[in-house]
Amino acid sequence: MAGKWNKLITFNSGTLNSFLNGAEIADNELQTAEGVIFDRGVLEKAPGRTAIGTAHVSGAKVDGVFRSYDKAGNKVLLRVVNGAIQRWTGAAWEDVETGLTAGVPYDFINSQDKTLIVNGYDDAREFDPSTNTIQKLGLEPPRFYKKAAYFESDETSLFTLGTNGSFNTVNYRIEERTGTSKQSLKLTAGAGETKSSYLTYASAQDFSLFPNGLVISNDAFFCVHILHRERDYVDAIYIDFETSAGNYYRFTIDGTDLDQVYARDNVWTPIQLKKSVAVATGSPDWASIAKVTFSLVGQTGTAEVYFDNCYWKNPPIEAVRYKKAIDSFEGLVSDYTVTNASLSSNLNLNYIKEGTKSLKVVIVGAQTVTLYRTVSVNLAQYIDGITSQESDVISLQVKGATPNLTSLTKRLYSDVGGGKYFWKQYTVAGGDFKKSTTGAWSELSTAKSDFTDNGTADWTAIVREYIQIVTTGSVVLYLDDFCLEEAGLQLILSTMETDEVWTYGTAGSGGFNTNKNRLSAGDTSIYLKIPRSREYTAYRSLGASANLNQFGGGEASGEDDFICFWLSWTYFQYIRTIKLRIDVNTGDFATDYYEYELTQTQIANLINMSGRAASLLSNKSVTVEIAKADFTRVGVTAGKDWSTTIGYEFLVATTASAWLNLTVYFDNLHLRRATGLTGIYQWCCLFRSSDGNASGISEWSQELTLKGTKALLGNLPLSADPNCAYREFYRRGGNLGAEARLDFTIYDNTTTQYFTDLSD
């Protein structure tokens, strides 16, 4: 009997031959290869697989399987089934997160000890194998939106266009968050006509909440882009949000609100209106809006406008100077009682000092006008509990032509029936207003101590604001920003003018300067010219001691108040030190004085040029502000302190490499109240998770100009994201320039108002 035939056949992955029948293929070719592997040319049966767990979700396929791991050795098997991410506990499958999209592929990747999970439909997820927890990857940024109308094809069937409405595919806004912006709503109206188109929602819309569940507050903005043709033909535009017939909120846009600054034709105007300015008719409900109507009123000719990109957004941070509002004029006109004039809310930016509205007062002919409103405000302290000083001021911004204006009187009542009030009158003849035939802003600002007290009034319980206006003819006035604010207290210590006597330690080393580029105020500054490796001095002795523990009006000055002076120099690289000494004893600057020393590094930091080449820092200037607490006391004499100041001395020392004389200029030595920031500033916010991941940033606030005060920030964004652990707030402007720095951090998700005065 013949022996068994043996032949070694070597296979490889390229020898799969499925196009010939089995009798014709070579010995090392296969028609099919299932359940096998090739291992170095040897065909082997594929290893078997072990089933993990016996539970199976009926009718649902597994959309993904992955092993999550980290560097610490934690390993977790994950699967996705029926929209649930599950982990294997060793005994059973346990849900980690549910409610995701089912029936779509899930992709996984390990990165930095976490497993990232995406499916192209839901937000990306991040699984931590060390804690078996999962969270949304990243954070929702502090910018919230809700669509009102985008006028695209998905809304076409919901519109009733009317006789003068149509969709336009030539003029539209491309920035809509649809990704398919292709058309706008066109509306025309002849002179004296009102034409409308309206959108009836398929189901009532809730415009009281954003999609993330946060409230669309009265400070939130309704936004719409409007393109107009002939601006003068547009009388008014109305946008009505209707709950049911006769019950609606109305936004009114005057024709002059279109392209307010340049008053051009054929341009788009982005309109932003606070929710609070919508006027209610009947009993509408923002949580149940069934219809939105767009109306156009024409005048003198046929008006033509286009609407697009209507949505709600949360407000940016609202930054205002530190103050206590009496009236921001952002509320309803119906809150006021008025005689001999008509009132309306003004939205034109040219007539707004702060916020989104001012109060327009139209007076016809010679009149004595009164208007008042009920309030409840304590003007003895600020919102953060800080006591208001008698030197703090009550301020009102007024804009209008002055030829027919005689006077304006403020009254602040604490007892209406008892006739108890504080009052102050301002007159054109007395120079209290900026005289103008076309209208200019006048700040009517007066210290509390300069108000007349009628009947022993009480600053702690003001219940009525009252304004009286006297005219000799027709006048239109705009009122805004009625408030209490801190006075910018300042005490001049030395002006460096020629009526002062300055003594120089080395003859010919200094004197008065008249070059306007080398002084900050007045007509002169003083200077010192110092050669290499020397220290020269300039000092002024006072005839009588000065009290630096109080300001000129007797207001107390604390250790946090600032001694300030203006400083300029020629060759920065030759500066070794600059010192200021304030003598409080004998005036010899030897036995008892306060001293502060500035180095090159400190000066570079003050002008925000740290690390720059020295040549770039030459011929610069800066106002130096030194807290009294930061001075070093040299020598202590009983009964002597800031209140017994007797002289001031500047000392400048040069480096050994100073081959040219260094010239340093000083001006405007003064004491100022430490009340905060000076400059133009903006703020924004971002959210952070507990592991430090950051969201995108919020919209920047409007620019705010501050002059030595705190900033009051409102409308601070809240997060609806459960992963948000804290909120960071950044500031730019002032000495920082365009660079943003962290101003403060809030570790709760409820605070919406904050004060800041952190120096640059």
Distance of CA 631 to the CA centre of its chain: 35
Per-residue H/E/C for 636-661: CCCCCCHHHEEEEEEEEEECCCCCCC
pLDDT for res 54: 64
pLDDT for res 374: 97
pLDDT for res 606: 87
Residues 476, 496, single domain; the answer is no
User: For residue 432, is it within any domain?
Assistant: yes
Residues 212, 103, single domain; the answer is no
Torsion of CA 33, 34, 36, 37, to 10 degrees: 70
Query: Where residue 644 falls among pLDDT bands split at 50, 70, 90?
Result: very high
Total domains in the fold of the chain: 5
Residues 407, 467, single domain; the answer is yes
The least confident of 6-10, 217-221, 353-357 is 6-10
Residues 215, 151, single domain; the answer is yes
Helices (H), 43-168: none
Taking the C-alpha atoms of residue 86 and residue 96, their distance in angstroms, rounded to an integer, is: 5
**Higher-pLDDT residue of 758, 424:** 424
Segments forming the whole domain that contains residue 737:
677-755
- Segments of 82-144 assigned E as strands: 84-88, 93-97, 107-111, 114-118, 125-128, 133-136
Per-residue H/E/C for 564-595: EEEEEECCHHHEEEEEEEEECCCCCCCCCEEE
Residues 330, 311, single domain; the answer is no
The answer on pLDDT for 296 being more than 60 is yes
Q: Are 393 and 364 in contact (CB under 8 A)?
A: no
Taking the C-alpha atoms of residue 478 and residue 349, their distance in angstroms, rounded to an integer, is: 11
pLDDT for res 179: 67
Q: Which of 311, 285, 290 is nearest to 158 (CA)?
A: 290
Query: Where residue 1 falls among pLDDT bands split at 50, 70, 90?
Result: very low
The answer on pLDDT for 320 being more than 90 is no
What pLDDT, in 10s, does the model give residues 69-89? 999 999 999 999 999 999 999
Residues 444, 466, single domain; the answer is yes
Residues 286, 360, single domain; the answer is no
**Higher-pLDDT residue of 691, 363:** 363
pLDDT for res 261: 79
> Tokens 């030759």 correspond to what residue?
574
The answer on pLDDT for 64 being more than 80 is yes
User: For residue 23, is it within any domain?
Assistant: no
Domain boundary residue, one of 315, 347, 377? 315
Fill in the DSSP letter of residue 550.
B
**Higher-pLDDT residue of 641, 175:** 641
pLDDT for res 137: 81
pLDDT for res 20: 64
**Higher-pLDDT residue of 653, 707:** 653
User: For residue 760, is it within any domain?
Assistant: no
Q: Which amino acid is at 62?
A: V
**Higher-pLDDT residue of 52, 491:** 491
The least confident of 12-16, 194-198, 441-445, 709-713 is 12-16
pLDDT for res 628: 95
Query: Where residue 26 falls among pLDDT bands split at 50, 70, 90?
Result: confident
pTM: 0.64
Mean pLDDT of 559-580: 94
Q: Are 104 and 120 in contact (CB under 8 A)?
A: yes
Query: Where residue 629 falls among pLDDT bands split at 50, 70, 90?
Result: very high
The answer on pLDDT for 616 being more than 90 is no
Which DSSP helix (H) or strand (E) runs through 194?
strand 194-205
Query: Where residue 384 falls among pLDDT bands split at 50, 70, 90?
Result: confident
The answer on pLDDT for 12 being more than 80 is no
The answer on pLDDT for 6 being more than 70 is no
Mean pLDDT of 229-257: 96
What pLDDT, in 10s, does the model give residues 390-405? 888 999 999 998 899 9
Share the mean pLDDT of the chain: 90
Query: Where residue 647 falls among pLDDT bands split at 50, 70, 90?
Result: very high
Residues 6+ apart with CB under 8 A from 58: none
pLDDT for res 40: 61
The answer on pLDDT for 576 being more than 70 is yes
pLDDT for res 355: 81
User: For residue 21, is it within any domain?
Assistant: no
The least confident of 303-307, 317-321, 410-414, 755-759 is 755-759
User: For residue 9, is it within any domain?
Assistant: no
User: For residue 22, is it within any domain?
Assistant: no
Residues 157, 288, single domain; the answer is yes
Taking the C-alpha atoms of residue 561 and residue 549, their distance in angstroms, rounded to an integer, is: 9
The answer on pLDDT for 51 being more than 80 is no
Domain boundary residue, one of 453, 485, 517? 485
Residues 189, 97, single domain; the answer is no
Query: Where residue 142 falls among pLDDT bands split at 50, 70, 90?
Result: very high
The answer on pLDDT for 473 being more than 90 is yes
**Higher-pLDDT residue of 38, 197:** 197
Q: Are 252 and 194 in contact (CB under 8 A)?
A: no
Q: Are 332 and 359 in contact (CB under 8 A)?
A: no
Q: What share of the chain in percent tops pLDDT 90?
A: 68
DSSP 3-state helix, strand, coil percentages of the chain (rounded to 5)?
5, 50, 45
User: For residue 188, is it within any domain?
Assistant: yes
User: For residue 24, is it within any domain?
Assistant: no
pLDDT for res 122: 85
- Greatest mean pLDDT among 347-361, 599-613, 636-650: 636-650
User: What's phi and psi for 156, nearest 5 deg?
Assistant: -55, -45
What pLDDT, in 10s, does the model give residues 368-383? 999 999 999 999 998 8
What pLDDT, in 10s, does the model give residues 84-123? 999 999 889 999 999 999 889 999 999 889 999 999 888 8
Q: What share of the chain in percent tops pLDDT 70?
A: 93
Q: Which of 747, 746, 729, 742 is nearest to 319 (CA)?
A: 729
Question: Is the sign of the CA dihedral 205, 207, 208, 210 positive or negative?
Answer: positive
Residues 711, 733, single domain; the answer is yes
**What does each C-alpha distance from 191 to 157, 297, 348, 549 come to in angstroms?**
29, 8, 23, 69
Query: Where residue 585 falls among pLDDT bands split at 50, 70, 90?
Result: very high
The answer on pLDDT for 2 being more than 60 is no
What region, left, alpha or beta, does residue 747 occupy, with left being phi > 0 and alpha being psi -120 to 50 degrees? Answer: alpha
CATH number of the domain that 164 lies in?
Answer: 2.60.120.260
pLDDT for res 555: 74
Helices (H), 491-648: 600-606
Query: Where residue 435 falls among pLDDT bands split at 50, 70, 90?
Result: confident
The length of the chain in residues reads 760
Q: Which of 734, 729, 730 is nearest to 759 (CA)?
A: 734
Residues 694, 641, single domain; the answer is no
Domain boundary residue, one of 250, 285, 315? 315
Residues 156, 104, single domain; the answer is no
Query: Where residue 419 falls among pLDDT bands split at 50, 70, 90?
Result: very high
Mean pLDDT of 219-229: 96
